[in-house]
Amino acid sequence: MSKANIAFYWAASCGGCEIAVLDINEKILDIIEKANILMWPVAMDTKYEDLKKMKDKSIDVCFFNGAIRTSENEELAHLLRKKSKILVAFGSCAHEGCIPALANLFNKKLIFDRAYQETETTVNKENTLPMTSFDVKEGEIHIPEFYDTVKTLDQVVEVDYYLPGCPPTPNIVEDAFNKFLTGDLPPKGAVLAPVKALCDECPRKKKDKTIETIYRVYEKEADPEKCFLDQGIICMGPATRSGCGHQCIKGNMPCTGCFGKTPEVNDQGAKMISALASVLAVENEIELDEKKVEELISKIKDPVGTFYRYSLASSFIKRKVIK
Amino acid sequence: MDTNSSSPRVGVFVCHCGSNIAGTVDVEKVAQEISKMEGVAYAGSYIYMCSDPGQKLMRETIEKEKLDRIVVAACSPTLHEKTFRINSKNAGLNPYQCEISNIREHCSWVHEDKAKATEKAIKITKSIVEKVKNDSSLTDIEVPITKKAVVIGGGVAGIQAALDIANGGYKTYLVERDSSIGGKMAKLSETFPTLDCSQCILTPKMVEAANHPNIELLTYSEVENVSGYLGNFKVKIKKKPTSVKWDICTGCGDCYPKCPVKVPSEFQEGLAKRTAIYTPFPQAVPNKPVIDRENCLYYQKGICKICEKICKIGAIDFEMQEEIVEVDAGAIVVATGYQEYPLQNLSDYGGGRYPNVISGLKFERLLSASGPTGGQVLRPSDGKPVKDVVFVQCAGSRDIEEHKPYCSKICCMYTAKHAMLFKHKVHDGNAYVFYIDVRTAGKDYEEFYYRTTEEDHALYTRGKVSKIFEDGDKVVVWGVDTLTGKKVEIRADLAVLATAIEPSSGIMELKQKLKVSVDENGFLKEAHPKLRPVESMTSGIFFAGAAQGPKDIPESVSQAGAAASKVLSMFSADFLHKEPLICEINEDVCSGCGICIMLCPYGALEAEITTKDNKETKRSKLNEALCQGCGTCSSACPSGAATMRNDISKNMFKMIEVILE
Amino acid sequence: MEDFEPKIIAFLCKWCTYAGADLAGVSRLKFSPNAVPIRVMCSGRVDPSFVLDAFAKGADGVLVGGCHPGDCHYAQGNYKTLRRVKLLKMLLKDMGLEEERLRLEWISASEGNKFREVVNDMVIKIKEIGPSPLKKEESK
């Protein structure tokens, strides 16, 4: 059997997903034995021109990490889609937008103002901002356009499979590689992780949920035996897909939701908002007037950053309205 | 359950309702627009869909067009949802695949602009078509019933409820924490408004309950734990150790006169003493003694055992242990009654400090022929006859700031009775009554009150008492007559406080065991204050008597009858039938986070823990019999495991979409 | 902007607000046709996902109608709704949507007139703040 052709690409991402590939350690050798890596910008030099010259569908599986932030990201998404038989959204950014998509709380102008003018270490008297084209003596150069809104990969091209996580954990990555290389694949569109929420694998003692009040992580030392929510610390576990090996939980930190929503859910944040608000003070709810409810709810800081840290771009609302 | 959403054939029937709808909504246009929707096989209109010809047309069209689900765009579902569901059932369809689009109350009747009303009618109907397309074929849920009842509380309400259920032919367990049934009523002297002797009318009922083949008395017992649900409760009852083998005790009564211990008698409200081995009162049912271990010399000091020596048949058993019995029951009646608001809380009146300031129940014992004074009204302090007595109404009731905000309801009448009975016994005595209002709503009550004031010349003063204090051997009552504005001072031999009544101690523990609610005053909370006054929010649990709110005897007895009739009507069928529009937990999705469990007002969701390969798995488990289908769990479920039958979220998104198109 | 007609989705609980709206109909009260009702068993059935989805699909306003506190047919569903709506409003604010677009009202089965007033008032207020900025481009 001939070797499979695979490719990796990074769009708007931190690079963590590249490390995630290496996190499978020596198993990568098995992969290289079975597959040719045609493209991997972080590790080897590939020119876009070379990619363009490849025959359509000549890549068997392309692992695309990063969100769509710029015109370059988008162009490559289209190009790789065309060249690949299977396109995989690898990691939370490509899957749901992840941290880069929190920039959807701003727009291009606000981001540029901040980055190129307002930051304390910047002196930019001429107010120079990135331009998409510029004349130099060698001719006109082009740089990619920075978009107002960060998108997920599947908002610009069709995606075949998703690997969740920020970054995907080695078990998930290894399992996915095996699936692709053996062709043992679930139906198209699947997220390659278990369907249940994190609580399913979380070993902490869980009570029937009632939360008296909310604590932020720094306000209370969490009992490592007990469910975070039972201790008043917001944990996204109930609304987040499992499969990560509950690493954060093991480190005595609550889940922040990077594996994204479970398959029966449309909007991870909305569901967690509903769950949390429902169980908050549920035992003495009839005694709370509207003002007290507001006080209680106001203990939840930064709803977007809490409930949509990874999924803002793929949520119903997707971005902040800026007038 | 089958979802044949693959290729639904929806039929849409738009009703003109004469001109009620057609006058403002272009019904033809609605039918025309709807007919363009995917999955709609037929859309037409008719002048009166609910009429016989309309329904016939519907049935014929179902057959002709091979429709498998129906939308009727007409009036509010409150009116004719049932009509059309039955009609589609008669045409061979599943009734739960027929839905109503309300284009009359919510559209034609409230709008004037025909174009806009038509547009809205189309949207409403489109959304309902989207719903019906995914509706599943459902069948009603059947829940089997254990035809046995548990009645908690052996006062008059509990006795009556138990008798009524038992007379209906069903086994009833009557649980009472004291050693005898009878409750507060057994302590009363005479009862208003007829002045029947309380014991005389109650004792036969107590005996009837004890001898009833369908009633099992569990006295000196308390409910330990309740599990299960409507039709299928499991009630664990703790039988406290009586230290007397009741199965062999003949109730001869030889033991207790010899007991050297003397402690205040609860039944006599502390006006007399009882022994450590005792029956609470001579007519007790069952008439068997118990040993009060707190006061018995043997249990406290390891000496005595006189009773054991006296008992010829060897019924005394100092080693007796408590016992837990578990009974199955289909229904539970809670009749735990009331207690008096503690006298010492009324410190302005010297409550608890002065022996001659007493509560209403204590006065009952003074009046009672079986009481410590043989019915003579004597001062508790020195046993001298009472000439002047002051009755203070609303002692702790109707006092939002310091005591109970509510009216205790029975005090106006029992105070009138007290004053009357006092005057009957002490002809030259004076009975003064301080009141805020006199409330005598009840059959023959006002007439009774009239007799107290006009024939027996009790002196009623409208006003609140500010202070009661001792002066020599008298109690001095300061008050104001608010009708004349004058201060009033009465030097009396006795002051009787008509203390507020409150739910019996232990109600908070019991409510948790039963998963029922109480109101802000601790009284059991009924499912609906007007329409479901004897039912709890938890199906299968009913209320009787003063545990639900202050009540007199006739009311307690009628409520007991009402609760019993609810139980009997439930027991008249072998299965309970309920609408299947309830929750469903997808076990393949549920992660066991536990969010939903506390949200269910009916306790229909429980965490189920299973262990497999040393791994504990937690899942929410639904009890179909309890779920009422509100959907609060489903909207809170963070993983989408809890869904509502025929109201799945996927539908909702489609409905929203077509409305906003 | 003159002819802007707000699109409002109204989630009405079956026992109170839906019945209140029925009463408005029976009483022949007249009001704006902008609110299209969706009947739910309890206001507690209103999943925040429904609300956000409605906004994402271009609703200019969302009304949630439930029983008055203490009157909920299911005892306490409406209390959950209150907390969810409060938290949702915090979220909407952070997402740059006007709070007034989401409205929670307790309307009993006997308050037909209140239902009319709430709908009318909501239409007026939303007309003031203008169309939802989340409206799809093509439906401008």
User: Measured between alpha carbons, how far is A103 from A7 in angstroms, rounded to an integer?
Assistant: 28
Under CATH, which number does the domain B583-644 receive? 3.30.70.20
pLDDT at residue A1, rounded to an integer: 53
Q: Which two tokens stand for residue B649?
A: 């979220």
pLDDT at residue B259, rounded to an integer: 95
User: Measured between alpha carbons, how far is B49 from B52 in angstroms, rounded to an integer?
Assistant: 8
Q: Which two tokens stand for residue C113?
A: 């007139």
pLDDT at residue B6, rounded to an integer: 62
Question: Is any Cβ of chain C less than 8 angstroms from the Cβ of A296?
Answer: yes
What does the angle CA B301 – CA B307 – CA B313 come to, to the nearest 5 degrees? 140
pLDDT-derived band of residue C135, with 50, 70 and 90 as boundaries?
confident
Pairwise CB contact (< 8 Å): C95 & A304: yes
Question: A288, A268 in Cβ contact below 8 A?
Answer: no
B-proximal residues of C, 22-41, CB under 8 Å: 22, 24-26, 28-31, 33, 36-41
Chain C residue whose CA is closest to A314: C56
| Domain at B148-338+541-572, CATH from 3.50.50.60, 3.40.50.300, 3.40.50.720, 3.30.200.20 | 3.50.50.60
Q: Where in chain B is the domain with CATH 3.30.70.20?
A: 583-644
Contacts of A105 in chain C (CB under 8 A): 94
Give me the residue spans of the domains in chain A: 4-99+150-182, 105-147, 198-307
Chain B nearest-CA distance from C78, in A, is 9
Please name the member of C56, C76, C80 whose beta carbon is closest to the beta carbon of A316.
C56
B-proximal residues of A, 137-196, CB under 8 Å: 195-196
Q: Residue A1 CB: number of other CB atoms within 10 A?
A: 4
pLDDT at residue C138, rounded to an integer: 38
- Sign of the alpha-carbon torsion through A65, A67, A69, A71: positive
Domains, chain C, ordered by start:
8-135 (3.40.50)
Pairwise CB contact (< 8 Å): B636 & A195: no
- pLDDT tens digits along C98-117: 999 999 999 998 899 999 99
Domain B10-139 has CATH 3.90.1690: no
Q: What average pLDDT does chain C have?
A: 92
Report strand pairing: B583-585 vs B501-503: unpaired
Pairwise CB contact (< 8 Å): A265 & C49: yes
**Left if phi > 0, otherwise alpha if psi is -120 to 50, otherwise beta: which for A309?**
alpha
pLDDT-derived band of residue C74, with 50, 70 and 90 as boundaries?
confident
Q: Using a CB cutoff of 8 Å and minimum separation of 24, what contacts does B44-48 make?
A: B44/B12, B44/B13, B44/B14, B45/B13, B45/B14, B45/B15, B45/B16, B46/B13, B46/B14, B46/B15, B46/B16, B47/B15, B47/B16, B47/B18, B47/B22, B48/B15, B48/B16, B48/B17, B48/B18
Please name the member of B591, B607, B653 whose beta carbon is closest to the beta carbon of A208.
B607
How large is the average pLDDT for residues A310-314?
97
Pairwise CB contact (< 8 Å): A278 & B617: no
User: Measured between alpha carbons, how far is B649 from A264 in angstroms, rounded to an integer?
Assistant: 9
Pairwise CB contact (< 8 Å): C87 & A300: yes
Pairwise CB contact (< 8 Å): B638 & A279: no
Question: Can the peptide bond before residue B193 be classed as cis, meaning omega within 30 degrees of 0?
Answer: yes
Chain B nearest-CA distance from C19, in A, is 8
pLDDT-derived band of residue C136, with 50, 70 and 90 as boundaries?
low
The contacts of residue B441 (CB under 8 Å, 6+ apart) are none
Query: Which SS3 state, helix, strand or coil, does residue B28 take?
Result: helix
A4-99+150-182: CATH architecture = 3-Layer(aba) Sandwich (3.40)
Contacts of C21 in chain B (CB under 8 A): 105-106
Q: Residue A22 CB: number of other CB atoms within 10 A?
A: 12
Q: Which two tokens stand for residue A291?
A: 């003002």
Profile chain B (661 residues) by mean pLDDT over runs of 10 residues: 66 97 97 97 96 97 96 95 96 97 97 97 98 95 94 98 98 97 96 94 96 97 90 95 96 92 96 95 95 96 94 95 96 97 95 95 95 94 96 96 95 97 96 96 96 96 95 95 94 97 94 84 87 88 97 97 97 90 95 95 90 86 91 96 92 96 90
Chain B nearest-CA distance from A287, in A, is 9
Best A294, A316, A322, A323 member to test C by mutation, with max C CBs in 10 Å, is: A316
Pairwise CB contact (< 8 Å): B636 & A274: yes
- pLDDT tens digits along A114-155: 999 999 999 999 989 999 999 999 999 999 999 999 999 999
- pLDDT tens digits along A112-125: 999 999 999 999 99
pLDDT-derived band of residue C139, with 50, 70 and 90 as boundaries?
very low
In eight-state DSSP terms, residue B378 is B
Q: What is the ipTM of this complex?
A: 0.96
Question: B490, B390 in Cβ contact below 8 A?
Answer: yes
More confident residue, B611 or C39: C39
User: Measured between alpha carbons, how far is A43 from A28 in angstroms, rounded to an integer?
Assistant: 14
Given a cut of 60, whether residue A248 has pLDDT beyond it is: yes
Best B124, B635, B654 member to test C by mutation, with max C CBs in 10 Å, is: B635
Q: Where in chain B is the domain with CATH 3.50.50.60?
A: 148-338+541-572, 340-502
Q: What average pLDDT does chain A have?
A: 95
Contacts of A297 in chain C (CB under 8 A): 83, 86-87, 90
Please name the member of C33, C77, C84 whose beta carbon is closest to the beta carbon of B111.
C33
Q: Note if the pTM is more than 0.90.
A: no
Under CATH, which number does the domain B340-502 receive? 3.50.50.60
C-proximal residues of A, 79-108, CB under 8 Å: 105
